[in-house]
Amino acid sequence: MTSETKICVVGTGHIGLPLAAVLAEAGFRVTGYDTNDDFIVRVNTTRTVDFQEEGLAALLERNLHNRLTLRSQCKSVPHLPAHMDTSTIRRTIVLLTATMAPSGSPMASS
């Protein structure tokens, strides 16, 4: 993948939003998609979330409305952003496991 790669993170909760923000920080064009319209509107307008994640506020400040776009509605393909290549979803499944906090510091093991 290159920084020109467009990535869609489906679900922008405790894991999805930090993941989307870290990918945007790495230079990718990222769309975070969620069905919770109130949450998406709040984050887009205030850059605040209702959970704590070290480093997330700074990542949102640097990347939201730049390399990171958050959406809750799509008209052309139900439940996916319009520009999403859905054939990619059918061909490849990528499993990402978090071992680092958005700040880059190691996460405590469970």
CATH of the domain at 30: 3.40.50.720
Decide if 79 is inside a domain.
yes
Segment 84-99 mean pLDDT: 47
Decide if 103 is inside a domain.
no
Find the radius of gyration of the CA atoms of the chain: 14
Residue 22 has pLDDT above 80, yes or no: yes
Residue 92 has pLDDT above 60, yes or no: no
Computed from CA positions of residues 61, 63, 66, 72, in that sequence, does the dihedral angle turn out positive or negative? negative
Decide if 53 is inside a domain.
yes
H or E, element range at 70: strand 68-71
Decide if 14 is inside a domain.
yes
pLDDT bucket at 23, cuts 50 / 70 / 90: very high
Decide if 69 is inside a domain.
yes
Decide if 101 is inside a domain.
no
What's the number of domains the chain is made of?
Answer: 1
Decide if 58 is inside a domain.
yes
Residue 66 belongs to domain spanning? 6-91
Residue 105 has pLDDT above 80, yes or no: no
